[in-house]
């Protein structure tokens, strides 16, 4: 599974960082980006799904 953040949709609520701090970083403007573009460790998939489900802007994309 891979994770990405649509920077056009992200509004900087940063719920993703609160729920999965190892999977996201905050840029200088306060918006989230994925901390890695590679495959997630299987142990991180649940946190990624939780972050995506809680994003009010639906900016987090999970791809298999």
Residue 8 pLDDT class (50, 70, 90 cuts): very high
Domains of the chain by residue range: 2-63
Cβ atoms < 10 Å from Cβ of 36? 15
What is residue 48's predicted lDDT score, i.e. its pLDDT? 97
Q: Give the pLDDT of residue 37.
A: 87
CATH topology of domain 2-63: Alpha-Beta Plaits (3.30.70)
Mean of pLDDT values over 57-64: 96
**pLDDT computed for residue 49 by the predictor:** 98
CA distance linking residue 51 with residue 20, whole number of Å? 6
Is residue 53 within 8 Å of 3, Cβ to Cβ? no
Q: How many CA atoms lie within 13 A of 51 on its CB side?
A: 29
Tens digits of residue pLDDT in 13-44: 999 999 999 999 999 999 999 999 899 999 99
Q: Kindly report, residue by residue over 49-59, the tens digit of the pLDDT.
A: 999 999 999 99
Which run of H or of E encompasses 3?
strand 2-5
């Amino acid at each position: 599974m891979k994770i990405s953040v649509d920077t056009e949709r992200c509004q900087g609520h940063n719920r993703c960082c609160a729920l999965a701090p190892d999977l996201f970083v905050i840029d200088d403007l306060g918006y989230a980006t994925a901390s890695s573009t590679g495959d997630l460790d299987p142990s991180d998939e649940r946190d990624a799904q939780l972050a995506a489900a809680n994003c009010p802007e639906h900016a987090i994309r999970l791809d298999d």
